[in-house]
Chains A and B, each alone.
Chain A
């Protein structure tokens, strides 16, 4: 299989490899990573063909394009030698083709004159075709990889352009241009990325149990998936009569968002519900695989900070008289069901149990979860015997991080017998949000323990890019 160079973007680094792998998986294409480094936007992968490369990259969010690798080396002499060794048989094919030659430097630049010298040095390729800077049939690009502030590049590549990525979607779905959003709407780039990692694709059915204004379902439907969602707060689904945005009047709702992007056909609708009392069909015995009906679940559950984490029920157990009142009043149009704060670790486990009971085999759950950047107060990655973790991607902030956890629904035979006889877990008890949500409490205390630890150790850059991951996941992510 030929080698291809993927020009990645140098952000959300820990998501990039997971995305490429997912893009290959969703297309059923075999991918092999030859070289990948978190600190570099150049990744070399092995794929069967140009058309496979095009298929894989066309949905990519964290890449710019894919190139057929013609050579590489740490100096120009090495690069030329490598080009002559690897790609000589291909030169003839492009002898008369209209072409262009450009230079792409990462963390370094070259002046126009220097660029010209570099490009001229490839004259041995003997391309006779006309040079066209626009609409060329073949585009060749020299990539230079510099160290920070370095004067000379540390590594070089030559590639022939094959296809560009789907990164434009990030601009199309930009929250700034979306008609209807709320305070915790997920950034369009990350929502699209989540959809990619969850293997959203045409013909599939996806569900978001915490949809809010529908950012995730929208991102999934961009990739052809049929979507539905729910939220405990019906106001966010039904929307409002007006918008605070200049020049926008009329009703703004989730439906309107789908209309804005012309995706109504892929939106099944939404309902108001609470995950702990879901109206969706649940298998009574979740070890029976094959009865699921969802191809994917994507969500960003409320962390209890900007969006309260609540479920149906009352803080205190209702007495007879109070029950009577609810019974008498619940059919009135002004009746609002009581809600109570809920444990964050419990809701994560609830999501996993729900996913295990509703996903088809190989269906995916992708969910976001926050954590402090300090191992002592870090939240553990939840697990379920029917779900296997596929990837853990981390978006670090200053004192906390959030991770995108992706799970795969195992088939019945892959689940070890007896694994489902789980002991009932103990969750935080209490009636106040702070008692129930460790992360929330630490957040509002400003992660003081984290600060204290940092000052004690006095190594401000001790946290590397694996922050937010501990235990065996940390090992996995550093080695991989």
Chain B
């Protein structure tokens, strides 16, 4: 599972969900793997406002990844300015797919973000809830969030 998914995952136990400590889940004994993927600027731009940045930094530091900047990058930080001076900013990202726009050149910021969110995968390990301490196992890159009988 790519690290970006952790940005959306909390503890599955209902009583935990309402407490802030249930997010993010903390990776433990994690075996990481880098799977190369095509850099997708449009997606990065769209997903940027939906990232929980502080929590993402926590996950990053717990995994021993290079530290992320303390403030989230803006959409403008993702593309090299020189080539896109004339390109109109898109607010929803749905329109520019088919249009003939100049190829956008990703900045180092975009490359770094891409590396962390979409190329770093958890292969094996555990995800632990910060509230109840329940451990969710990750096997072959697939996390198991099924709750045992006594917790449903």
Contact = CB atoms under 8 A, between A and B. Distances in A.
B9 A279 contact: yes
Interface string A240-279: 0000000000000001000000001110111111100111
Contacts of B46: 203-205, 295
Minimum-distance CB pairs A-B, first 3: A330-B148, A269-B1, A203-B42
Interface in B134-149: 136, 139-149
19 contacts: A202-B40, A203-B43, A204-B93, A264-B37, A269-B121, A272-B145, A272-B146, A274-B147, A277-B145, A279-B9, A279-B10, A279-B12, A279-B145, A293-B50, A312-B147, A313-B149, A318-B150, A324-B150, A330-B150
B152 interface: yes
A271 B147 contact: no
A88 to B, nearest CB: 32
Q: DSSP class of A's interface residues: helix, strand, loop or mixed?
A: mixed
B26 interface: no
Interface residues of B, number: 46
Interface residues of A, number: 53
B82 interface: no
Contact of A271 (B37, B143, B148): B143
Interface of B: 1-2, 4-5, 8-14, 17-18, 23, 25, 35, 37-38, 40, 42-43, 45-47, 50, 93-95, 97-98, 118, 121, 136, 139-150, 152
A138 to B, nearest CB: 23
Contacts of B38: 265
B12 A28 contact: no
Interface stretch (A184-192, A280-288, A344-352): A280-288
A275 to B, nearest CB: 11
A210 to B, nearest CB: 14
A386 B14 CA distance: 22
A67 B121 CA distance: 47
A226 B98 contact: no
B146 A273 contact: yes
B88 to A, nearest CB: 13
Given A226-B40, A268-B4, A279-B136, A335 B97 contact: no
A8 interface: no
Contacts of B18: 284
Contact of A280 (B8, B147, B149): B8
Contact of B98 (A55, A266, A282): A55
B97 A337 contact: no
A322 interface: yes
Interface stretch (A231-239, A391-399, A414-422): A231-239
A383 to B, nearest CB: 24
Contact of B95 (A28, A199, A234, A277): A28
Contact of B5 (A232, A268, A295, A329): A268
